Amino acid sequence: MNYITHALGGVAAGFAVISAVGVHEPVQESIIMTGAVLGSLFPDIDHPKSWITNKVPLAGTIISRLFKHRGFLHTPLFILITWAFISFFTPIWIQEAAELYRIVLFFNGFIPGMLSHLILDTLNVQGVMWLYPISRKRFNLLSIRTGGFGEAVVCAVLSIMLFGQYKGF
Ligand SMILES: [Zn+2]
Protein backbone atom coordinates (compact mmCIF):
# COMPACT_ATOMS: atom_id res chain seq x y z
CA MET A 1 0.00 0.00 0.00
CA ASN A 2 1.15 3.57 -0.51
CA TYR A 3 1.76 6.05 2.28
CA ILE A 4 -1.65 7.77 2.00
CA THR A 5 -3.52 4.49 2.57
CA HIS A 6 -1.18 3.63 5.46
CA ALA A 7 -1.61 7.08 7.02
CA LEU A 8 -5.41 6.63 6.86
CA GLY A 9 -4.98 3.23 8.54
CA GLY A 10 -2.87 5.01 11.18
CA VAL A 11 -5.62 7.57 11.80
CA ALA A 12 -8.12 4.70 12.20
CA ALA A 13 -5.76 3.03 14.70
CA GLY A 14 -5.37 6.37 16.51
CA PHE A 15 -9.16 6.79 16.85
CA ALA A 16 -9.44 3.21 18.15
CA VAL A 17 -6.73 3.80 20.78
CA ILE A 18 -8.18 7.17 21.86
CA SER A 19 -11.59 5.64 22.45
CA ALA A 20 -10.12 2.51 24.12
CA VAL A 21 -7.86 4.48 26.47
CA GLY A 22 -10.62 7.00 27.18
CA VAL A 23 -8.46 10.09 26.60
CA HIS A 24 -10.46 13.33 26.09
CA GLU A 25 -7.80 16.01 26.34
CA PRO A 26 -6.89 17.44 22.87
CA VAL A 27 -3.11 17.51 23.49
CA GLN A 28 -3.11 13.89 24.65
CA GLU A 29 -5.31 12.88 21.70
CA SER A 30 -2.88 14.62 19.31
CA ILE A 31 0.11 12.80 20.81
CA ILE A 32 -1.63 9.42 20.35
CA MET A 33 -2.70 10.34 16.81
CA THR A 34 0.82 11.51 15.85
CA GLY A 35 2.26 8.25 17.20
CA ALA A 36 -0.35 6.19 15.32
CA VAL A 37 0.27 7.90 11.97
CA LEU A 38 4.07 7.71 12.30
CA GLY A 39 3.78 4.06 13.39
CA SER A 40 1.59 3.31 10.37
CA LEU A 41 4.28 4.71 8.05
CA PHE A 42 7.35 3.36 9.87
CA PRO A 43 7.62 -0.27 8.56
CA ASP A 44 8.20 1.00 4.99
CA ILE A 45 11.52 2.45 6.15
CA ASP A 46 12.81 -0.87 4.75
CA HIS A 47 12.01 0.41 1.23
CA PRO A 48 14.60 2.77 -0.31
CA LYS A 49 11.98 4.87 -2.13
CA SER A 50 9.22 5.04 0.48
CA TRP A 51 7.77 8.28 1.87
CA ILE A 52 9.26 7.70 5.33
CA THR A 53 12.74 6.87 3.93
CA ASN A 54 12.61 10.18 2.03
CA LYS A 55 11.80 12.04 5.26
CA VAL A 56 14.77 10.54 7.15
CA PRO A 57 17.17 9.94 4.24
CA LEU A 58 20.28 8.89 6.17
CA ALA A 59 18.58 6.48 8.60
CA GLY A 60 16.20 5.33 5.84
CA THR A 61 19.01 4.51 3.41
CA ILE A 62 20.96 2.58 6.04
CA ILE A 63 17.88 0.65 7.29
CA SER A 64 16.60 -0.10 3.78
CA ARG A 65 20.04 -1.56 2.90
CA LEU A 66 20.14 -3.68 6.06
CA PHE A 67 16.59 -5.05 5.84
CA LYS A 68 14.76 -6.58 2.91
CA HIS A 69 11.49 -4.84 1.99
CA ARG A 70 8.54 -6.62 3.63
CA GLY A 71 10.97 -8.69 5.64
CA PHE A 72 11.65 -8.51 9.38
CA LEU A 73 10.37 -4.93 9.81
CA HIS A 74 7.01 -6.08 8.44
CA THR A 75 6.46 -8.80 11.07
CA PRO A 76 4.50 -8.96 14.36
CA LEU A 77 7.78 -10.09 15.96
CA PHE A 78 9.38 -6.74 15.14
CA ILE A 79 6.37 -4.90 16.60
CA LEU A 80 6.65 -7.03 19.74
CA ILE A 81 10.39 -6.34 20.07
CA THR A 82 9.82 -2.58 19.55
CA TRP A 83 7.08 -2.60 22.23
CA ALA A 84 9.24 -4.60 24.69
CA PHE A 85 12.27 -2.36 24.04
CA ILE A 86 10.27 0.85 24.58
CA SER A 87 8.48 -0.50 27.66
CA PHE A 88 11.75 -1.59 29.24
CA PHE A 89 14.04 1.34 28.42
CA THR A 90 11.87 4.49 28.50
CA PRO A 91 11.25 4.35 32.29
CA ILE A 92 15.03 4.00 32.72
CA TRP A 93 15.93 6.82 30.31
CA ILE A 94 13.09 9.24 31.11
CA GLN A 95 12.85 10.20 34.78
CA GLU A 96 10.38 13.07 34.58
CA ALA A 97 6.80 11.76 35.08
CA ALA A 98 4.97 14.15 32.72
CA GLU A 99 7.46 13.54 29.91
CA LEU A 100 7.31 9.78 30.47
CA TYR A 101 3.49 9.94 30.27
CA ARG A 102 3.68 11.77 26.90
CA ILE A 103 6.10 9.15 25.55
CA VAL A 104 3.83 6.34 26.78
CA LEU A 105 0.88 8.03 24.99
CA PHE A 106 2.98 8.38 21.80
CA PHE A 107 3.88 4.67 21.75
CA ASN A 108 0.28 3.71 22.67
CA GLY A 109 -0.43 5.15 19.21
CA PHE A 110 2.79 4.09 17.47
CA ILE A 111 2.53 0.34 18.16
CA PRO A 112 -1.13 -0.04 16.96
CA GLY A 113 -0.17 2.19 14.00
CA MET A 114 2.51 -0.34 13.05
CA LEU A 115 -0.04 -3.12 13.39
CA SER A 116 -2.41 -1.25 11.04
CA HIS A 117 0.43 -1.22 8.48
CA LEU A 118 0.72 -5.03 8.59
CA ILE A 119 -3.06 -5.43 8.32
CA LEU A 120 -3.23 -3.20 5.24
CA ASP A 121 -0.21 -4.86 3.61
CA THR A 122 -1.97 -8.21 4.16
CA LEU A 123 -4.52 -7.02 1.58
CA ASN A 124 -1.68 -6.84 -0.99
CA VAL A 125 -0.66 -9.66 -3.25
CA GLN A 126 2.85 -9.83 -1.66
CA GLY A 127 1.35 -10.46 1.81
CA VAL A 128 2.98 -10.37 5.24
CA MET A 129 4.95 -13.00 7.20
CA TRP A 130 2.57 -13.10 10.20
CA LEU A 131 4.17 -16.23 11.69
CA TYR A 132 7.84 -15.21 11.30
CA PRO A 133 10.25 -16.72 12.46
CA ILE A 134 8.21 -19.96 12.83
CA SER A 135 7.29 -19.77 9.17
CA ARG A 136 8.25 -17.48 6.30
CA LYS A 137 4.90 -18.06 4.62
CA ARG A 138 3.33 -14.81 3.45
CA PHE A 139 -0.35 -14.40 4.19
CA ASN A 140 -2.57 -12.23 2.02
CA LEU A 141 -6.32 -11.74 2.31
CA LEU A 142 -6.75 -10.00 -1.05
CA SER A 143 -4.56 -9.56 -4.12
CA ILE A 144 -4.51 -5.79 -4.30
CA ARG A 145 -1.57 -4.20 -6.14
CA THR A 146 0.04 -1.10 -4.62
CA GLY A 147 -1.23 1.98 -6.42
CA GLY A 148 -3.88 0.02 -8.34
CA PHE A 149 -7.67 0.24 -8.47
CA GLY A 150 -8.10 -2.04 -5.44
CA GLU A 151 -5.97 0.27 -3.32
CA ALA A 152 -8.05 3.28 -4.45
CA VAL A 153 -11.16 1.40 -3.22
CA VAL A 154 -9.53 0.62 0.16
CA CYS A 155 -8.45 4.26 0.42
CA ALA A 156 -12.00 5.48 -0.34
CA VAL A 157 -13.59 3.05 2.17
CA LEU A 158 -11.14 4.12 4.88
CA SER A 159 -11.78 7.80 4.12
CA ILE A 160 -15.57 7.34 4.39
CA MET A 161 -15.21 5.39 7.66
CA LEU A 162 -12.90 8.03 9.15
CA PHE A 163 -15.17 10.85 8.04
CA GLY A 164 -18.05 9.02 9.77
CA GLN A 165 -15.90 8.64 12.91
CA TYR A 166 -14.95 12.33 12.77
CA LYS A 167 -18.58 13.40 12.41
CA GLY A 168 -19.47 11.07 15.27
CA PHE A 169 -21.84 8.68 13.53
ZN1 LIG B 1 4.66 -1.97 3.91
Closest CA to 116 of 33, 21, 2, 12: 12
Distance 40 CA to ligand 1 centre (A): 9
123-157 pLDDT tens trace: 999 999 999 999 999 999 999 998 999 999 999 99
49-66 pLDDT tens trace: 999 999 999 999 999 999
CA triple 84-11-5, angle to 5 deg = 105
Cα 12 to Cα 164: distance, rounded to the nearest angstrom: 11
Total structural domains within the chain: 1
Distance 5 CA to ligand 1 centre (A): 11
Residue 71's domain comprises: 3-167
Distance 70 CA to ligand 1 centre (A): 6
Distance 137 CA to ligand 1 centre (A): 16
Asked if 109 and 13 count as a contact pair (C-beta separation under 8 A), the reply is: yes
Distance 67 CA to ligand 1 centre (A): 12
